[in-house]
Amino acid sequence: MAYDDSAGQKLGRLKERGEKWKLRGDQLFVAKDAYNSLFQAQAEIFYPERADFFGNKSKGDERYDGIYTSVPQRMRRDMANNLGAMLRPRGKDWFKAVARPEELMDDKQTRLWLERATRTQRNIVYSPAANFTRAMSESDHDYTTFGNAIIRHTYNSANTGLLFTCAHLKDCAWSENHEGTVDELHERMHMTLRQCAGLFGKDNLPKEWRDALDKSPEREVQVQRCVAPVEDYTYDKTEKPRKTAKYMSMYMACGVDEKEAGLGEGHFNWFPYLVRRWMTVSGEPYGRSPCAGVALADARTLNIAQQALLKSVEWKVDPPKVAAHDAVVGEINLRAGAITYYDASAMGDGNRKVIENLESGDPRYGIELTDRLAMNQGRAFWQDLFKMPDKQMTAYEAGKWIEEYVRSAAPIFEPMESENATLMDAVFERAWSKGAFGDLDPSTQLPEGMPEGLQGARVDFEFETPLSIAYRELRTQQAEALVTRMTAQAQIAPDSLDNVDWDEVTRGAMGDTPADWARDPKLVSEMRAQRQEAQAEQQQKMEQAQALEVGLKARPENLNKLEDAMKEGA
């Protein structure tokens, strides 16, 4: 949580802004209650640890009461873990910085600088103190269950690196701008009065909190934070935020008079949250989970069916019994090796059993139903999509399978690539401002050593996802198929090879090759020109040598002819 009170010089305007944003946030939280009901229902069956959107549940509570099957929870767990492993594989370069427009990537120095920047950013993200892996793992489970997840990213308390944390969905409410981008987010958090006084100053606290501070400094209170675009018209000339600030961060006290709600204010050059939304519906600011949403009905049915199946199995193993009234002497003893006595005279003609089992249902029908419902859960969570075919495939079959995989996987991974780009862009800007990519020139604010062609260009990020891997594999398959086809074609019509730009085919097939492995296209052109010049020079030398050799061979004959002619003339 970053806070800067340098702008809070006039408390009157601060309190006015605090009152405005507090009312705005309360309205958004009321509107979100309808979504909280859905999220609570999904959490109860798929993610019980997060099933605290309503009520006063304590941390560490056992929240599995009423759950008779682990299939929905395992599906959520496996899907979330798969997403993390596929989107952010540890030990692999799953993101890289690239320049736009793409023509800039033809310059080797530009590519080398971007590769160094990528390594620097990777070291920043995966620093143990950054908490990136844990925060993103927690958000993957929220993302899979609810279709929404919130990641905070800011500088750590020592201002020596970044810190990533995952916020609880129940504590956040947001709205979109006219472009459909989330640029206003309200978060409710809990602090002690002592923490509030240390962060915002005792004089900025509401009167009620100031009075209670000395008596109960560890009393927990609720603070609401709002991050939204800076509105210049709400500031006096003496409290204007810095020119580069794009977002303000307002902290407000909850449970007090709104006119005293404003506690403090900070500013950011970038939005300090990543709001992950999986499947969006027009007109709704919150996302939905295409997995848990589809599987919710089957998950509930499976839970009820599993409960009935457990009863059925228990009845089959230990069925209820019936005995003739007054036929048994004493109590029925069902322990192993025990003896139960009965009155033989009470059994009549002797055809009746002393103790009989009541007939119960066949649990096999329940097992078939639960197995089918569990399979439906797997399909809802795309388990079949993440499995490679078991059979051996030809190159043609593999290419067709990759094409089908790309069509099926695109709706899953494309939204995630966009979210990754948003996060990495913010990290890049933060690292840039701290001189992580080179000391900044005071006049240009550009890192020292940055290639001239890259100055003023846009730096984006590309990601290694199953979708991009499949695209690249498909491109490689196409290149191999083209080489095979054109090799056969060249035997019939050699000139047909002129229709293919083999340089483009080669560069396309080696798209992910490190920059220091591949030569710059300009250097390749120069090498080819030098090679052609050397070949021409060599050809000229060979022709001169051949002419000299012919001359030497021809000279004796010419001399003899000349000598004969001279004799005849004499």
Give the whole-angstrom CA distance, residue 283 versus residue 214.
Answer: 48
Hey, is 187 helix, strand or coil? strand
Helix pair 71-87, 11-46: axis angle to 10 deg: 120
Q: Which residues contact 230 (CB under 8 A, 6 or more apart)?
A: 241, 245, 246, 247, 248, 267
Q: Which residues contact 489 (CB under 8 A, 6 or more apart)?
A: 496, 497
Give whichever of 114-128, 470-484, 494-508 has the largest mean pLDDT. Answer: 114-128
Judged by average pLDDT, the poorest of 5-19, 80-94, 223-237, 352-366 is 5-19
Of the pLDDT bands very low, low, confident and very high (cuts 50, 70, 90), residue 8 is very low
Judged by average pLDDT, the poorest of 16-30, 345-359, 534-548 is 345-359
Give whichever of 48-57, 316-325, 366-375 has the largest mean pLDDT. Answer: 366-375
pLDDT at 170 over 90: yes
Task: Give the pLDDT score at 216.
Answer: 93
Give the whole-angstrom CA distance, residue 14 versus residue 263.
Answer: 8
Task: Give the pLDDT score at 326.
Answer: 66
Give the whole-angstrom CA distance, residue 372 versus residue 71.
Answer: 12
Task: Give the pLDDT score at 406.
Answer: 65
- Angle (CA) 172-174-177 rounded to 5° is 165
Q: Which amino acid appears at position 116 of this protein?
A: R
Task: Give the pLDDT score at 349.
Answer: 59
Give the burial class of 165: count Cβ atoms within 10 A of its Cβ; 0-12 exposed, 13-18 middle, 19 or more buried: middle
pLDDT at 181 over 50: yes
- At 387-430, the pLDDT tens digits run 766 667 666 666 666 667 666 777 777 888 889 889 999 999 99
Starting at the edge strand that comes first in sequence, how are the strands of the sheet with 262-268 ordered? 172-176, 182-192, 220-229, 247-253, 262-268
Task: Give the pLDDT score at 301.
Answer: 95
Of the pLDDT bands very low, low, confident and very high (cuts 50, 70, 90), residue 27 is very high
- At 83-118, the pLDDT tens digits run 888 888 877 888 889 998 888 888 888 989 999 999
pLDDT at 325 over 70: no
pLDDT at 358 over 80: no
pLDDT at 9 over 60: no
- At 196-227, the pLDDT tens digits run 999 999 999 999 999 999 899 999 999 999 99
Of the pLDDT bands very low, low, confident and very high (cuts 50, 70, 90), residue 4 is very low
Task: Give the pLDDT score at 526.
Answer: 79
Task: Give the pLDDT score at 558.
Answer: 56
pLDDT at 569 over 60: no
CA distances from 124 to 101, 161, 417, 532 (A): 26, 7, 20, 47
The counts of H helices and E strands in the chain are: 12, 14
Of the pLDDT bands very low, low, confident and very high (cuts 50, 70, 90), residue 491 is confident
- Gyration radius of the chain's alpha carbons: 38
